[in-house]
Structure formats: C-alpha cells, structure tokens
Amino acid sequence: MAITGSGSLAISLYVFVISAAFLSKGSAETVTVDGLNLATDNVSVIEGEMATISCRVKNNNDDSVIQLLNPNRQTIYFKDVRPLKDSRFQLVNFSDNELRVSLSNVSLSDEGRYVCQLYTDPPQEAYADITVLVPPGNPIIESRYDVVSEGNETELTCTAMGSKPAASIRWMKGEEELTGETTVEETYDRMFTVTSRVRFSVTKEDDGVPVDCIIDHPAVKDLLAQRHLEVLYKPEVKIVVTSPDGLTREGDNLYLTCIAEGKPYPLQVSWLRVDEDVPPHAVVTGSDLYIENLNKSYNGTYRCVASNAVGEAYDDYILYVYDAPTTIPTPTTNPVNTQDSRASEGAPQKIDHAVIGGVVAVVMFAILCALIVLGRYFARHKGTYFTHEAKGADDAADADTAIINAEGGHNNTDEKKEYYI
C-alpha cells in the first residue's frame, strides 16, 4: 500500500478515528493475550543494538486490523503504515496474521511496554516488554599494596561501572575461587556501579599468581580484569656437596656450594661453624666453602646463612671425617646432597665382619694344632720316670739280697732304736 501526497493526511486521520473508536470500546473491556487470539514476546536487547517486536494473530478470518503502539500509546504502525516520525522503526513483515517491526539503535528511553492491538469484537491487546541491557565498562582492579611480604594480608578492589542491570563480580586466584564483599550503588539514570573487595594472606607460592576479577552480566561475556601478585619472601638455602663423592676421609678436600634464592635476591651469604671457629685454612669464596687436607679435628656442623630484606634462612652440613682408606678399599656410595644424608654420613663406620671372622678362624686353627702336638708328646713319654727305691738292687743274687742292698730298703733296722721308759 503506497501513500503519497495528501493521501498521507487522510490515512493519519483514519488511524486517529479508528484508534479513538477502539479506545472508546476498550474502556469497557480490555482483553490481554492470555488464552486469546493475539500473541507477542518480551524482548531483551543490548543498548545500541536492534530489537524486533512481533504481533501475531493465530486466526484472522474477519480481516481485523493490527497496530503497534509505543509505551506512550502512540501508534508506531497501523497495518503497514508508520504514522510515528521515528525512522528507527522499520516494517519487517506485514500480513493478515503478523505485524513485525524492528527498532534499531535502542537506547534506555526506548525501554517500556509496547502494545499490540487487534480490532475485534471485543478488541484484544497483547503486551511486549522491551528491556534494555547496558553492559558495564571495563572493570578496574586496584591493590591496596603493590608489593606484599609473605605471611601478610593483601586487599584487592574491583569496580564495574555503568551497567543495567547490576553486574555480579567473582574472584579467582589461579584455580582457587575467592569470596569478596560486594556493594551495589544505583545512579540517577537507573544505572548501577558494583564494587567488590577481597582480602587474603599470601605465601611465597603466590608470587606471580594471577588474580582475576570476573564480571558476569547478561549483556557481555568474558569481561575481566587481571592483576599478578608480587610477593617478597625470605631466602631458600640449600648446601650442595661438590666433592668428595661419598664419605669424607682424612686427607680429602671438601668443597661445598651454598645455593640461596629469595625475593629480593639475597645479597649476603656467609659461612660459619656451629659452636666452633671455622678452620683457619678454610677458604670462603662468595657462596663456596673449601677445606683441604681434612682431619678429624674438622668434624662439626657447617652452616650457610643467607639474608635479604624480608629475613634470613640457613642450611646445615654435618661433617664427619673417617679414617684414611686401608688396603681393602671401602665401597663408595653415591653422593646425596640433602641435609638428612649428610647427617647419616656422620655415623660411625660399620665393622667388616668378614675380616673378623677370618682372624678368629685362624686363631682357633692354631690353638687346635697346639693341642694336638701337646697330646702326642705326653702320650709318647707316659711311664718313663725313675725312683730311688730299688737303687743297688740290680747286682743282687736273689730277691732278699736285692731288698737288703736297695737304698731306702728296710735292711738298716739296726739303726732304728727304740726306747722304752
């Protein structure tokens, strides 16, 4: 339907008359969309984008007229005619069963309830609510402290300004979700500013970890602000044994290296011997300690101390000097550079039980041989001994004479004298 020249004025008057007639009828009875022949949809649209309003008739057998009104009840379209002088409204489709209109470059002032009207008896109305969404601006994240020391608390603030409806804010520290305190402020133009604060204690593991302020809003996705934590922490100290490999023995040279890391980097690294003085010929070069020609007087605990602006830390090495190796070399073990392994090196050396068993076997064999020789000697000389009882009896003619002639015999009876008183 084309309208040119003075015909447009006639159409406008026609719309006015029809609208007045409808309003006079509608004052008696107004029918909404529920369960009736007219249907429409609510619309949510982001500010600056396009909204589409559709007025649909399920069954239109009597050629009833469809029109669309704005929230001020001004006619936007009557059939396919646009009386309203707002070129942002454009006809998308018009038929007996639908009037579809687009609204471009939507602003907050366009928000409200739009009316679809169908001229029937009784007349029908359906309402389409347009909700304008305004995304927040880029979030701003601020930190109360730019740098914080381990063990202390930090505070971060994130602000999302100028949104509709109010945005929600979430916090993530790495993979960990944090809980913040949120405040919402409504401005004079129906816009909202949301502020969230989060507080937490930091450790050295938090250094460099990103903290994300994530904005959730129906008008925008993947909106966030990020800040990396900067945490100061005291040094971490570790002593590494460069030489010797395995056990430390008399005559060996000891070379220790102290590895110290921290934030800020430790500028001072020193060596000391716990409860004693460092050997006079020990050489300290930066973080290295060198002692040559070890002996047992050097036994003790050697400590590397490192410090920075946050604090100091240390690591200990327990030195135990063993005897120099004998003809039977002692198996060496792989060096282990932890404090526990160094402590285990300080334990006494295990005894070689095989050597002791061999010595005992040799001694027992010698004793057994000596016993055998003595036994044979005593067995050979058994009974070969002499007495003086038969001395002089060898030349006697008979036994009686032998007895009389023998020394110690009883032939000297006359020499015995008895006296009776």
Whether residues 252 and 282 fall in one domain: yes
Residues in the chain: 421
pLDDT of 11 over the 50 cut: no
| pLDDT of res. 61 | 58
- 262 located within any domain: yes
Residue 399: the pLDDT is: 54
The verdict on 149 and 120 lying in the same domain is no
Residues 96 and 151 in one domain: no
Question: Is the pLDDT confidence value at 308 over 50?
Answer: yes
Give 414's DSSP letter: G
Please report the sign of the dihedral spanned by the C-alpha atoms of residue 405, residue 406, residue 411, residue 413. Answer: positive
For residues 203 and 242, membership in a common domain is answered with no
Read off the pLDDT of each residue in 391-418 and give the average, rounded to a whole number. 51
Last residue of a domain, one of 319, 347, 376: 319
- Per residue in 215-258, pLDDT (tens digit) is 999 999 989 999 999 999 999 999 999 999 889 999 999 999 99
The better pLDDT of the pair 340, 300 is held by: 300
Locus of tokens 């929230």: 71
3-class secondary-structure state, position 401: helix
Percent of the chain predicted with pLDDT > 90: 59
Domain end position, chosen among 105, 133, 161: 133
**In a domain? residue 412:** no
> In terms of residue numbers, what domain contains 191?
137-229
- CATH code of 288's domain: 2.60.40.10
Question: How many C-beta atoms lie closer than 10 Å to residue 92's C-beta?
Answer: 12
Written as six digits, the tokens of 67 are 């029109």
pLDDT of 392 above 90: no
**Which residues pair with residue 340 across a beta bridge?**
none
171/201 same-domain check:
yes
**Closest C-alpha among 145, 142, 159 to residue 227:** 142
How much is the pLDDT for 338?
Answer: 40
Identify which has the larger pLDDT, 48 or 405.
Answer: 48
Q: How confident is the model at residue 342 (pLDDT cuts 50, 70, 90)?
A: very low
**Is 121 part of a structural domain of the chain?**
yes
- Decide if 264 contacts 308 (C-beta within 8 A): yes
Q: Is residue 218 part of a domain?
A: yes
Residue 42 shares a structural domain with residue 126: yes
Cα–Cα dist 271/110, whole Å = 77
- State whether 109 and 63 are in the same domain: yes
Residue 382 pLDDT class (50, 70, 90 cuts): low
Q: Are residues 63 and 43 in the same domain?
A: yes
Question: Are 153 and 124 in the same domain?
Answer: no
Query: Which of 19-33, 143-157, 340-354 has the lowest average pLDDT?
Result: 19-33
**The token pair that represents 59 in the structure block:** 């069954």
Phi and psi dihedrals of 338, rounded to 5?
-100, 160
pLDDT over 50 (residue 412)? no
Question: Comparing 376 with 141, which gets the higher pLDDT?
Answer: 141
Looking at the structure, do residues 163 and 204 belong to the same domain, yes or no? yes
User: Where residue 380 falls among pLDDT bands split at 50, 70, 90?
Assistant: confident
pLDDT of residue 122: 82
Residue 20 predicted with pLDDT over 80: no
Same domain, 181 and 206: yes
Q: For residue 370, what pLDDT band results from cuts at 50, 70 and 90?
A: confident
Same domain, 212 and 238: no
Provide mean pLDDT across the span 26-46. Answer: 65
Number of separate domains in the chain = 3
Does the residue 404 lie in any domain? no
Report the percentage of the chain scoring pLDDT > 70: 75
pLDDT tens-digit readout, 252-285: 999 999 999 999 999 899 999 999 999 988 999 9
Q: Is the pLDDT of residue 402 over 70?
A: no
Write down the pLDDT at residue 333.
Answer: 47
Give the whole-angstrom CA distance, residue 188 versus residue 108.
13
Residue 420 lies in a domain: no
> pLDDT band for position 360 (50/70/90)?
confident
Residue 157 pLDDT > 60: yes
Position 300 in a domain: yes
pLDDT band at 183 (very low <50, low <70, confident <90, very high): very high
Q: Is the pLDDT of residue 116 over 70?
A: yes
Taking Cα atoms as reference points, which of 255, 253, 252 lies closest to residue 241?
Answer: 255
How far is Cα 135 from Cα 220, in angstroms, rounded to an integer? Answer: 6
Distance (Å, rounded) from C-alpha 404 to C-alpha 407? 8
Q: Is there a domain that residue 74 lies in? A: yes
pLDDT tens column, 37-79: 889 999 999 999 999 999 999 876 567 889 999 999 999 999 9
Of the candidates 304, 319, 334, which is a domain's last residue? 319
pLDDT tens, residue by residue, 68-112: 999 999 999 999 999 999 999 999 999 888 999 999 999 999 999
